[in-house]
């Protein structure tokens, strides 16, 4: 059994309750409640803070006197305490060592002592702790040759540090070249960054790393899917590449998909993904070259989270821009800020985690804003600092988008303006009368989080929490009104719904558990409401699984339609082929019954078959597809070229247009599947 097969089987066992899931499911109601109450509390530290670092979902601080405190997610021992625990308030870490600097990474932590010794703890899957091993630990381990260090930066699976002699060493995962060693070999011990040395500062992101040299030049290396290396290309680099030609850079900050840096004169420049206006130039167009942030404030520091950027200016003010979905910009009134807004004053330093940001005040107190599901705000709660929505309210779509922005690698293609009708089949039926209705339909295998946790088959991808954000963004930017999803565990679907801020609803809901959410139907709440929700039980791998069958009603026209969202068994074995055959027989029979009642019917999802599934549906039902292909006059099925395992079928008489199999950067980084979509017109 290969790794992916094993992961899918593990997911199924979790869904059936035969194993305990690592992450517990949250109900849809719980998700809504946790994002509706807005609170701002200080991090409950025992002494004034001297230095602060916000990691993925945990944070750490060096206190006055050199002691260390950490809080938030502790699943891998990154709090220097018992593994698997999360703490909503800071706990003592670092023992009796006096620390000069700490860096909280995705799920590991590293610190430099006042005697310049380097220690790390937490997730160690690819050797990010630098001790020559790959086992996670809550104990502080010595980094090999970990003496004479000045600073350290912990990323997702990688760590980089600068020695007192300004030489840089990196270790950990290197599949995207993020160690800068000139190759893609993993190193569980520190290894020299390629090229000349003389480094003054380093920042480690998700798949990339950037550093500033003593001469003021700026260099980046590693993954470059969104142009986050800033050298004008979208090609990854396994060695440092220079960002422009200027030599007055002072500091750089990196996250998963964008990078920002400050010049010695206080200018802020950003590059990479700009879906959420995180580049701060007033638009939404991504850029592989630095663009100037639209502010006259003179910055002395910049911090970046996924989709959000902040600067600290010379007047001790914090200005932020980009994504504000969890209140990380702090004002709770606008989902996206296309240009900087003042968030807070009297601040000495700033730091940003994945979906939250923190201020270190001039008096030594710390206040954090944003996502708080793991207690990463350190205020004794798991309440996000987000919008004060009434239950069921819908946040407007990202209304701050620049309508004149030119297309970029992150801008989805537009739907074809003129519908191209599919030819009716002689055996077609007449759909029940109703007002003409238009909507966008899609299917999206979102890659279950059992595939991307450390040690699984696709763990080189971003963690499920970040991919949930990209999934929700992709659905939004592609304009999907109805979309089938596959593989989501309950917690993963809860995150996607949370990231949609009320714009999406689902059946099944996360509170039903992972068995029910493995195939789900999502719809845009402003466009549709569910009239009936049912489930169709069909064979899948080792058991029967529920597949959502939903009667949706368009809010504007009142038109109703049935949607069956499915995920059939994978693998080419005879046993699983039997499961697929049985599943499709049940599904096709249900489609035939619904069709006989005159409702528009849509049958969509991951069929895990190409030609066989395509021809079965076209020959045994009156449904048709926007994918191409046809049933010839002689009854022979002629499938389209370049088929995928995912399909869209709908009632004959549907007018399809704008069909595409897309892998925008959001889709490509969220999953290993194409997203299939089409515009639907019901006459």
CATH number for 484: 3.60.10.10
**CA gap 312, 403 in Å, rounded:** 29
Closest CA to 147 of 135, 132, 134, 130: 130
520 with 647, same domain?
yes
Segment 288-313 mean pLDDT: 98
Residue 410, token pair as written in the block: 């992150």
pLDDT confidence of residue 412: 31
The more confidently predicted of residues 10 and 358 is 358
**Which spans in 597-680 are helix H?**
611-620, 665-670
Q: pLDDT of 432-453, one tens digit each? A: 668 999 999 999 999 999 999 9
Instruction: Using the predicted structure, report yes or no on whether residue 361 has a pLDDT greater than 60.
Output: yes
444 with 328, same domain?
no
Look up residue 652 and give its DSSP letter: B
| Residue 558 within any structural domain of the chain | yes
| Residue 192 within any structural domain of the chain | yes
481 with 569, same domain?
yes
pLDDT confidence of residue 13: 43
Select from 355, 370, 385 the last residue of a domain: 370
Q: Name the pLDDT band for 431 (thresholds 50, 70, 90).
A: low
Q: pLDDT of 155-177, one tens digit each? A: 999 999 999 999 999 999 999 99
> Which residues, including other chains, have CB under 8 Å from residue 8's CB and lie 6 or more apart?
448, 450, 541, 570
pLDDT confidence of residue 41: 61
pLDDT confidence of residue 386: 55
| Residue 636 within any structural domain of the chain | yes
Determine the structural domain holding residue 365 and report its residue range.
48-370
Instruction: Using the predicted structure, report yes or no on whether residue 138 has a pLDDT greater than 60.
Output: yes
Segment 664-671 mean pLDDT: 95
Q: Name the pLDDT band for 153 (thresholds 50, 70, 90).
A: very high
146 with 290, same domain?
yes
Considering only 12-16, 138-142, 182-186, 672-676, which range has the smallest mean pLDDT? Answer: 12-16
Q: Where are the beta strands (DSSP E) in 345-458?
A: 347-352, 356-361, 366-370, 437-445
327 with 453, same domain?
no
Instruction: Using the predicted structure, report yes or no on whether residue 83 has a pLDDT greater than 90.
Output: no
Residue 153, token pair as written in the block: 């930066």
pLDDT confidence of residue 233: 97
Q: Percent of the chain having pLDDT more than 70? A: 87
173 with 297, same domain?
yes
Considering only 28-37, 101-110, 532-541, 670-679, which range has the smallest mean pLDDT? Answer: 28-37
Segment 253-261 mean pLDDT: 98
The more confidently predicted of residues 447 and 406 is 447
**CA gap 400, 398 in Å, rounded:** 6
Measured CA angle at 432 (ends 426, 437), to 5 deg: 100
**CA gap 278, 257 in Å, rounded:** 10
pLDDT confidence of residue 433: 66
Q: pLDDT of 366-386, one tens digit each? A: 999 999 999 999 989 898 875
Instruction: Using the predicted structure, report yes or no on whether residue 509 has a pLDDT greater than 50.
Output: yes
438 with 363, same domain?
no
- CATH number, domain of 148, equals 2.130.10.30
Measured CA angle at 599 (ends 598, 604), to 5 deg: 130
Full-prediction pTM beyond 0.85?
Answer: yes
Select from 319, 337, 370 the last residue of a domain: 370
| Residue 143 within any structural domain of the chain | yes
Which phi and psi angles does 627 have, rounded to 5°?
-75, -15
Segment 327-344 mean pLDDT: 88
Total count of domains within the chain:
2
Select from 347, 370, 393 the last residue of a domain: 370
Segment 489-513 mean pLDDT: 97
| Residue 427 within any structural domain of the chain | no
**CA gap 7, 121 in Å, rounded:** 27
Q: Regarding beta strands 646-650 and 519-524, do their DSSP bridges make them parallel or antiparallel, or are they unpaired? A: unpaired
Is the separation of the CB atoms in 138 and 147 below 8 Å?
no
**CA gap 505, 482 in Å, rounded:** 10
| Residue 502 within any structural domain of the chain | yes
Instruction: Using the predicted structure, report yes or no on whether residue 402 has a pLDDT greater than 50.
Output: no
488 with 558, same domain?
yes
Is the separation of the CB atoms in 34 and 497 below 8 Å?
no
74 with 7, same domain?
no
Residue 115, token pair as written in the block: 């005697």
72 with 7, same domain?
no
Highest mean pLDDT among 11-15, 415-419, 463-467, 629-633: 463-467
Q: pLDDT of 196-225, one tens digit each? A: 999 999 999 999 999 999 999 999 999 999
Beta bridge partners of 142: 119
Convert 102-135 into a string of H (helix), E (strand) and C (coil).
Answer: EEECCCEEEEEECCCCEEEEECCCCCCCCCCCCC
Considering only 22-31, 124-133, 513-522, which range has the smallest mean pLDDT? Answer: 22-31
pLDDT confidence of residue 655: 97
pLDDT confidence of residue 432: 66
Average pLDDT over the chain, rounded to an integer: 88
Q: pLDDT of 24-64, one tens digit each? A: 222 222 222 222 233 446 787 888 999 999 999 999 999 99
Instruction: Using the predicted structure, report yes or no on whether residue 151 has a pLDDT greater than 80.
Output: yes
Q: pLDDT of 527-555, one tens digit each? A: 999 999 999 999 999 999 999 999 999 99
Instruction: Using the predicted structure, report yes or no on whether residue 400 has a pLDDT greater than 50.
Output: no
| Residue 385 within any structural domain of the chain | no
7 with 78, same domain?
no
Instruction: Using the predicted structure, report yes or no on whether residue 23 has a pLDDT greater than 90.
Output: no
| Residue 139 within any structural domain of the chain | yes
Q: pLDDT of 230-243, one tens digit each? A: 999 999 999 999 99
Angstrom CA distances, 677 to 82, 187, 248, 643, stand at 45, 41, 46, 14
322 with 440, same domain?
no
Instruction: Using the predicted structure, report yes or no on whether residue 107 has a pLDDT greater than 80.
Output: yes
């Amino acid at each position: 059994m290969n790794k992916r097969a094993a992961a899918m089987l593990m997911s199924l066992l979790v869904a059936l309750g035969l194993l305990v899931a690592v992450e517990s499911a949250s109900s849809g109601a719980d998700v809504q409640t946790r994002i509706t109450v807005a609170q701002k509390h200080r991090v409950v530290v025992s002494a004034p803070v001297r230095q602060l670092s916000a990691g993925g979902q945990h944070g750490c601080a060096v206190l006055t006197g050199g002691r260390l405190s950490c809080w938030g997610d502790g699943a891998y021992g990154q709090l220097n305490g018992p593994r698997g625990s999360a703490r909503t308030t800071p706990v003592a870490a670092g023992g009796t060592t006096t620390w000069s600097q700490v860096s909280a990474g995705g799920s590991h932590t590293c610190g430099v002592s006042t005697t310049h010794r380097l220690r790390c703890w937490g997730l160690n899957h690819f050797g990010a702790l630098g001790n020559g091993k790959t086992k996670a630990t809550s104990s502080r381990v010595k980094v090999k040759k970990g003496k004479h260090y000045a600073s350290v930066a912990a990323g997702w699976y990688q760590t980089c540090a600068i020695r007192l002699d300004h030489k840089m060493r990196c270790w950990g995962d290197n599949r995207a070249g993020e160690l800068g060693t000139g190759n893609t070999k993993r190193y569980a011990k520190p290894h020299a960054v390629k090229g000349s040395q003389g480094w003054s500062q380093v920042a480690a992101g998700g798949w990339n790393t950037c550093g500033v040299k003593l001469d003021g030049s700026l260099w980046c290396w590693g993954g470059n899917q969104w142009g986050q290396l800033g050298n004008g290309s979208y090609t990854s680099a396994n060695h440092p590449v220079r960002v422009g030609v200027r030599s007055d850079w002072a500091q750089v900050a990196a996250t998963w998909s964008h990078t920002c840096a400050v010049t010695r004169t206080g200018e802020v420049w950003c590059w990479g993904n700009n879906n959420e206006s995180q580049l701060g130039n007033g638009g939404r167009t991504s850029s592989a070259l630095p663009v100037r942030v639209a502010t006259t404030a003179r910055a002395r520091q910049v911090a970046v989270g996924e989709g959000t950027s902040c600067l600290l200016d010379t007047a001790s003010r914090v200005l932020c821009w980009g994504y504000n979905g969890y209140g990380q910009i702090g004002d709770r009134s606008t989902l996206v800020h296309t240009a900087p807004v003042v968030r807070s004053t009297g601040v000495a330093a700033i730091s940003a985690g994945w979906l939250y940001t923190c201020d270190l005040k001039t008096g030594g107190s710390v206040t954090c804003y944003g996502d708080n599901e793991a207690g990463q705000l350190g205020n004794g709660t798991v309440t996000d600092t987000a919008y004060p929505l009434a239950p069921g309210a819908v946040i407007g779509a990202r209304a701050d988008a620049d309508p004149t922005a030119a297309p970029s690698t992150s801008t989805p293609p537009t739907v074809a303006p003129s519908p191209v009708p599919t030819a009716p089949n002689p055996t077609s039926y007449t759909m029940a009368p109703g007002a003409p209705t238009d909507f966008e339909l899609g299917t999206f295998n979102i890659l279950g989080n059992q595939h991307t946790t450390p040690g699984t088959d696709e763990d080189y991808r971003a963690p499920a929490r970040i991919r949930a954000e990209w999934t929700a963004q992709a659905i939004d930017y592609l304009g999907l009104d109805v979309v089938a999803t596959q593989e989501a565990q309950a917690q993963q679907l809860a995150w996607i719904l949370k990231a949609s801020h009320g714009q999406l609803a689902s059946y099944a809901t996360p509170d039903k558990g992972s068995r029910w959410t493995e195939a789900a139907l999502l719809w845009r709440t402003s466009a549709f409401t569910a009239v009936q929700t049912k489930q169709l039980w069909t064979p899948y791998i080792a058991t029967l699984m529920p597949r959502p069958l939903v009667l949706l009603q368009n809010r504007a026209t009142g038109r109703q339609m049935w949607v069956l969202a499915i995920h059939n068994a994978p693998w080419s074995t005879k046993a699983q082929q039997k499961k697929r055959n049985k599943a499709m027989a049940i599904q096709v029979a249900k489609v035939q019954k619904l069709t006989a009642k005159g409702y528009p019917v849509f049958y969509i999802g991951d069929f895990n078959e190409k030609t066989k599934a395509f021809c079965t549906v076209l020959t045994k039902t009156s449904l048709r597809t926007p994918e191409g292909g046809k049933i010839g006059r002689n009854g022979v099925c002629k499938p389209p070229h370049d088929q995928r395992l995912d399909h869209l079928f709908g009632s004959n008489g549907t007018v399809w247009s704008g069909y595409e199999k897309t892998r925008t950067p959001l889709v490509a980084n969220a999953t290993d599947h194409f997203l299939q979509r089409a515009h639907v017109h019901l006459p």
